[in-house]
A and B are shown apart, each in its own frame.
Chain A
Amino acid sequence: MTDTAIEAAALGKRFGWRQKGWALRDCTLRLPVGRVCAVVGPNGAGKSTLLAHAAGLLAPTEGGISVLGTTPSAARERMAYVAQDKPLYPQLTVAETLRMGAELNPRRWDAAVAERIVEEGGLDFGSKIRSLSGGQRTRVALALALGKRPELLLLDEPMADLDPLARHQLMGTLLADSAEHGTTVVMSSHVVAELEGSCDHLFLLGGGRVRLAGPLDALIAAHTLVTGPTGDLAPHTVVESRTTGRQITALIRPEGRIAAGWQTAEPSLEELVLAHLRAPGAPALTLTDEGDADNSRGGNGGDDDGETNGTRTHGASV
């Protein structure tokens, strides 16, 4: 039993033959099992490409990716994937779609889980997929994915079609299910708010490259939001700074003690992400914490020692 859910090594994917057609480039990251990981980034950042590679749907142009300790192809049975557009066969009914899940996953299928998710949405098992709304289709797609009892669940923009109530309820089901079975969940999104409070790991992609990667708590702890009079912030790494009048507000990665006179605050996930999105030139940061790998998710303890055990790479890929 491996403790790594996803490991990408210099993964790159180019669509077509154009030199500029790289959807993902030099992507190196590792996700321990049992995490709920958010893959964040603007449109075209390579989120879907990364997930499709993990799901064994695309062959890398360069580099490699392994999933659950083996190739994505060999791990096919142990993971589930929900694509961004939630493809389902429109001519099948909901019941037939679930039957298909049972037929195509004979060794893993848990009908009760899948049926419960459909029932919670008040869906009629007899209705055709083509008659469902986008949100209802998302629910069926998630039922199909969870019914497979995956060890790794890959969700590409899972909640985009859902109203806030359904989103909250489905996210709850998802997290409870994954906590109960120790499922590793990877979900991509460009809505950061939708991930706050439900994730403990973050991959921030931009322009096909990794910008931030690591346990969420460690990433937040590695950054400080400072406010103070205009001045030099050296030797700290400045991710982004904005000047209003004589005041400067900056997100920095402290290198040593922050000089007196600066007001400091811990950034929120949204502030962290937005600052990196606004400053595409900021150096990349990858935090790994080996000590965390054996800990199960849920406790904060695992993430706290992340900074001490962590190895840092600054600006490696910029």
Chain B
Amino acid sequence: MTALTTTASRTRGVPRGLTWTLLRLHSAAVWFWALLVAVAAGALLWAAVPGGDAAWTAYTSGGCDNGVVDEGCNLNAPAIELYDTALYLGSAIINIAPLLVAVWAGAALIGRELENGTAKLAWTQSVTPARWLAAKLALPAAVLSAGTLLLVQLHRMMWEAHTDQWGTRGVWQWHESSIFIANGPAALAHVLLGLAVGVLVGLLTRRSLSSLGYGFFALGGLLYALELARPYLWPARTATTPATEGHPAYIGMTVDEGGITPTGDRVPNPCLTSENCVLGRDVVTHYRDYHPASHFWPLQLVETGVVLAVTALLVLTSFHLLRRRTGGTS
């Protein structure tokens, strides 16, 4: 027992075995991720406190918040521009990370090893292919999760610091895709999905360059489909107004809008094409399906759940594929 403790304390904190190997092999990627996280975190932190305050001062002192056109209002003031850039940088890094991860995982983590045959080198040490794959998923997942969670925290902090000021003026909205994702656990789920897509593509193509391309388009397609599906992940609310009183106000994320005929059928807004607008009297009510800001968390959690389920499916497929190819434990 004493001997065990001594050994453990001597080697504590130093990664061993497969962990050491993977960290050493992919140290460049780890450093690059650390750099990305540092840049995004710096931008978000700066935007949350000094940058946001300076931009707000420039905005109000220029007279932009009077609600009327003011000659002194300069939306391109340096403080506002810099603030916008920092915001954009912060959320862009969070949003682009899944694609970078998919491309890296497909090409560098898996594809290159299968192409060069170095995977065979690993599998003929005392490491089974399944353990190799498990480590290749778990270790990047841990590192990526840590970074993403930090960035999401900072993004939320930045968002909450100034949302009252900017949000009410419609400058930015909670449901904008890049802001929606960066403000919740969906960001983490997307990064993990990127990892799973990249790994599976790498195993399928066994080539680094083709993994790069297929990984990019596979994840791009999935994320695009997700964006199209997002409004339908939670039951929307419906606002209606009598046709004579115009359209319901825009609130939050719009899902669908149009008119309701006397028989209760929903029809596309007839005034979207000028000729049909004459038929407007057939429409007795205008409706708009929307998600209010209070739907942020339900939408976030459902999307996170769906993405994590797809990720789990891809991971299982990867293990199955590898086991079938290498003979596994049978």
Q: How far is A80 from B126 in the complex, measured between Cα atoms in Å?
A: 9
From 304 to 330 in chain B, residues with beta carbon under 8 angstroms from any chain A beta carbon are 324-330
> A59 to B324, Cβ gap below 8 A?
yes
B61 at the binding interface (Cβ < 8 Å): no
Shortest distance from the beta carbon of A28 to any chain B beta carbon, whole Å: 18
Does more than half of chain B's interface fall in helix, strand or loop, or is it mixed?
helix
A89 at the binding interface (Cβ < 8 Å): yes
Chain A residue contacts of B324, Cβ below 8 A: 59
> B328 to A101, Cβ gap below 8 A?
no
CB-based nearest B residue for A108: B126
A123 at the binding interface (Cβ < 8 Å): no
Contact of B327 among A58, A105, A106 (CB under 8 A): A58
Q: How far is A80 from B281 in the complex, measured between Cα atoms in Å?
A: 83
Shortest distance from the beta carbon of A170 to any chain B beta carbon, whole Å: 19
Q: Which of A71-79, A186-194, A251-259, A284-292 contacts B (4 or more CB under 8 A)?
A: A71-79
> A103 to B325, Cβ gap below 8 A?
no
Chain A residue contacts of B117, Cβ below 8 A: 83, 85, 87
> A57 to B120, Cβ gap below 8 A?
yes
> A103 to B21, Cβ gap below 8 A?
yes
- Do A59 and B326 contact each other (CB < 8 Å), given the known contacts A96-B24, A104-B126? yes
Chain A residue contacts of B326, Cβ below 8 A: 56-59, 73
Q: How far is A104 from B122 in the complex, measured between Cα atoms in Å?
A: 8
A42 at the binding interface (Cβ < 8 Å): no
Chain A residue contacts of B20, Cβ below 8 A: 99-100, 103
Chain B residue contacts of A60, Cβ below 8 A: 327
Count of residues in A whose CB is under 8 Å from the partner chain = 36
Q: Mark A54-93, 1 if CB is under 8 A from B, else 0.
A: 0111111000000000011110110111010101110110
Shortest distance from the beta carbon of B51 to any chain A beta carbon, whole Å: 39
A107 at the binding interface (Cβ < 8 Å): yes
B124 at the binding interface (Cβ < 8 Å): yes
Chain B residue contacts of A59, Cβ below 8 A: 324-328, 330
Shortest distance from the beta carbon of B75 to any chain A beta carbon, whole Å: 49
> B330 to A71, Cβ gap below 8 A?
yes
Chain B residue contacts of A52, Cβ below 8 A: 120
> B121 to A83, Cβ gap below 8 A?
yes
Shortest distance from the beta carbon of B276 to any chain A beta carbon, whole Å: 56
Shortest distance from the beta carbon of A126 to any chain B beta carbon, whole Å: 15
Chain A residue contacts of B124, Cβ below 8 A: 55-57, 76, 79-81
Chain B residue contacts of A144, Cβ below 8 A: 121
Chain B residue contacts of A55, Cβ below 8 A: 120, 123-124
B128 at the binding interface (Cβ < 8 Å): yes
Shortest distance from the beta carbon of A161 to any chain B beta carbon, whole Å: 15
Q: How far is A80 from B121 in the complex, measured between Cα atoms in Å?
A: 9
Q: How far is A103 from B25 in the complex, measured between Cα atoms in Å?
A: 13
Q: How far is A20 from B3 in the complex, measured between Cα atoms in Å?
A: 59
**B-binding residues in A (CB < 8 A):** 52-53, 55-60, 71-74, 76-77, 79-81, 83, 85, 87-89, 91-92, 96, 99-101, 103-108, 144, 148
The 6 closest A-B pairs by CB, nearest first: A59-B327, A87-B117, A104-B125, A81-B124, A77-B126, A87-B118
Q: In the complex, given contacts A58-B326, A83-B120, A106-B16, what are 19 additional A-B residue pairs having Cβ atoms less than 8 angstroms apart?
A: A55-B124, A57-B120, A57-B124, A57-B327, A59-B324, A73-B327, A76-B123, A76-B124, A80-B124, A87-B116, A96-B24, A99-B20, A100-B20, A100-B21, A103-B17, A104-B122, A104-B125, A104-B127, A106-B17
